[in-house]
A and B are shown apart, each in its own frame.
Chain A
Amino acid sequence: MLQILDENGKVINEDKKPDLSDEQLQDIMYRMVYTRILDQRAVSLGRQGRLGFYAPVAGQEASMIGSHYAVDKEDWIAPGYRDIPQLIWHGYPLWQSYLFSKGHYKGGQMPEGVNALVPQIIIGAQIVQTAGVALGLKKKGKSQVVITYTGDGGASQGDFYEGMNFAGAFHVPAIFVVQNNQYAISVPAEEQTAADTIAQKAVAAGIEGIQVDGMDALAVYAATQKARQNAVDGNGPTLIETLCYRYGPHSLSGDDPTRYRTSEEDDEWEKRDPLVRFRKYLEDKGLWSEEKENEIVEQAKADVKAAMKEVEETPRQKVSELIEIMGNELPYNLREQLEEYRAKESSK
């Protein structure tokens, strides 16, 4: 397993340490703190019933931010439902992520220039699509890559193997990240597979595979950066398994993690917290302070507030709008129903 920072923020693997400027290091920390706050706010908004579907991410910041920091703005992302932070840092507006959460179709309208698929609900679908995006990029002669995310559970789906195998066979610029946060809802990773690691599954697809400490932002960054370079250089795809933990419930829709996890286990993982570890590392270098962190916290809170305001001002979607967005050209049944529902809506 690739690890660069230990639990006290000390570098233990000097020659694997990525070449990042002070500003970049601070930027990674900034994004992780911001993400933690976004998560806390989303959980509380969710509990108040002001969001729709939400899957908490605390504990996975190094995995999410570290990997995403290694890709370019022009690169593509194919996220799962939990991968909202990477999308936000890729340019997907926060308020739209809330609309996505509430199932509003405007949540799925990626802004111009944001090369991303909509967060996937069907586990595994993004993995096969990634092979397609990567082949598309290769055929167009682009130097972009595509990065996709799933969980340890997702690595059991047929689509996972098909996607990696295709990407290997077509030798395309794809990065498959499996965030092994130890549980697929209630099922622990060791019941998911008899393989020692998920990373080793790359062997069967004939591609590179690496397991990294997913609570260590530097390690995740280094692995992803190398995977990206390989992809751009025409050396094919990589599978990265990030070992991490999800502190919260699987989602806010009724999951109770105390039914399948102990608090000792939670505590054990919290000791490896990605924010604490990175903060210590930066503090030792004189690159971080409490004031700086508080500023970020306030900034994130203000951004959440502004985004919620925008969401609450967005008109509720109408059934007639849903009918209109079913396709480019509406067939007779939809044209008929469009009239019917418009009439219904205007009589209300």
Chain B
Amino acid sequence: MAEMTMIQAITDAMRTELKNDEDVLLFGEDVGHYGGVFRATEGLQKEFGEARVFDTPLAESGIGGLAIGLGVTGFRPIMEIQFIGFIFEVMDGLAGQMSRMHYRTGGYYDSPITVRAPFGGGVKTPELHPDSLEGLMAQMPGMRVVIPSTPYDAKGLLISSIRSDDPVFYLEHMKLYRSLKGEVSEEAYTIDLDKADIKREGKDITFIAYGAMVHSALKAAEQLSEENIEAEVIDLRTVSPVDLDTIIESVKKTNRAVVIQEAQRQAGVAAGISAEISERAILHLEAPVARVTAPDTVYPFASDEDIWLPDHNDIIEKAKATIDF
């Protein structure tokens, strides 16, 4: 085991798979010689050569098409989109092509592609850099959407994503890149996709979160515990498809749920989950399923983000309202 930041764990996962399978390729803007604008790919071109780790011209649609083409010729591409907001340039590649390759060819071809992109607020990036677009991505049948919250999960989930024969959209929260460290095994290990993790056990209320909000939920749970409210915190890890078994089982135990996301309230992952809980466990609920989200505006740059982003206080407030319902 070694202490790693999330970004180190991500680099380590890519190194592990580049070593493990020579069909793994890594490419994108500035990922080669430069090692990525966040240094996520630092040293990998040196180690594996320009044939396997390389810069592309500046065109996201081109990067996505390249990945699809390499995928059907037997490679296992990891493509980087420099910041999530640039994903719109390659939406056809993702939604119209990559995610339906297996379906369209009756299973003859696959898209064994991992799309990596940083996202998430709290680090004062310019507009169209931090947006939480996982709700949009989650609406693409055929595409998994994975969001780790710890260095350990980041490595295991990324290795699983790279090994997956189906495309995975792997989102890296920018605030988590360097803000926390954790024990990460230096061995290759995988974590099942589609499986949520209970990060804290509790009996009074269920918090369902992912990405950076897992840590806000844990903080809220700690504070509530001082008032004898024990919250269970579920980290979804994969937001599409969501692990409903884990969620429903927890809600049946606690009878209350708060779904937490950094993204805007309209549509999105939290909306889908609260609908599923209502459909599957309404008779177990003591209160309506609550949501903690950002408001329905575009992501504000810099000066406003700390007010705009939901935090542990918002979660505590919603939790108390749910318990007092």
A residues near B, CB below 8 A?
52-53, 81, 102-104, 121-124, 153-154, 156-159, 184-187, 191-193, 253-255, 259-260, 316-319, 322-323, 326, 333-334, 337, 340-341
Bound complex: CA of A185 vs CA of B308, how far in Å? Answer: 30
Bound complex: CA of A316 vs CA of B307, how far in Å? Answer: 11
Main secondary structure of the interface of B (DSSP, over half): loop
Number of interface residues of B (CB under 8 A): 35
Bound complex: CA of A335 vs CA of B308, how far in Å? Answer: 16
Is B33 close to A, CB under 8 A? yes
Bound complex: CA of A337 vs CA of B62, how far in Å? Answer: 39
Which of chain B's residues have a CB closer than 8 A to the CB of A253? 125-126
Is B268 close to A, CB under 8 A? no
CB distance from A317 to the nearest CB of B (A): 6
Please tell me if the beta carbons of A187 and B300 are within 8 angstroms of each other in the complex.
no
Most B CB contacts (10 A, CB to CB) among A193, A318, A340 go to A318
Please tell me if the beta carbons of B126 and A103 are within 8 angstroms of each other in the complex.
yes
Instruction: Provide a sorted-by-A list of 21 A–B residue pairs whose CB atoms are within 8 angstroms.
Output: A52-B126, A52-B302, A52-B303, A103-B301, A103-B303, A104-B303, A122-B89, A153-B57, A156-B59, A156-B62, A157-B61, A185-B34, A187-B57, A193-B57, A316-B303, A316-B304, A322-B295, A322-B300, A323-B297, A334-B295, A334-B297
Bound complex: CA of A122 vs CA of B307, how far in Å? Answer: 25
Of B33, B35, B129, B295, the contact of A341 (CB 8 Å cutoff): B295
Please tell me if the beta carbons of B34 and A334 are within 8 angstroms of each other in the complex.
no
Given contacts A185-B34, A319-B308, are A122 and B128 in contact (CB under 8 A)? yes
Of B37, B89, B266, the contact of A157 (CB 8 Å cutoff): B89
B residues near A, CB below 8 A?
29-30, 33-35, 37, 55, 57-59, 61-62, 85-86, 88-89, 124-129, 265-266, 295-298, 300-304, 307-308
Which of chain A's residues have a CB closer than 8 A to the CB of B85? 121-122
9 extra interface residue pairs, beta carbon distance < 8 Å, beyond A254-B37, A341-B295: A121-B128, A122-B88, A123-B86, A187-B34, A192-B57, A253-B125, A319-B307, A333-B265, A337-B295
Bound complex: CA of A282 vs CA of B107, how far in Å? Answer: 70
Which of chain B's residues have a CB closer than 8 A to the CB of A158? 59, 61-62, 89
Bound complex: CA of A159 vs CA of B60, how far in Å? Answer: 11
Q: Give the nearest-CB partner of A334 in chain B.
A: B296
Bound complex: CA of A259 vs CA of B85, how far in Å? Answer: 25
Bound complex: CA of A56 vs CA of B300, how far in Å? Answer: 23
CB distance from A123 to the nearest CB of B (A): 6
Given contacts A122-B89, A192-B58, A326-B297, are A259 and B34 in contact (CB under 8 A)? yes
CB distance from A133 to the nearest CB of B (A): 20
Which of chain A's residues have a CB closer than 8 A to the CB of B55? 186-187, 191
Bound complex: CA of A17 vs CA of B178, how far in Å? Answer: 55
Please tell me if the beta carbons of B128 and A153 are within 8 angstroms of each other in the complex.
no
Please tell me if the beta carbons of A184 and B300 are within 8 angstroms of each other in the complex.
no
Bound complex: CA of A53 vs CA of B303, how far in Å? Answer: 12
Bound complex: CA of A333 vs CA of B128, how far in Å? Answer: 22
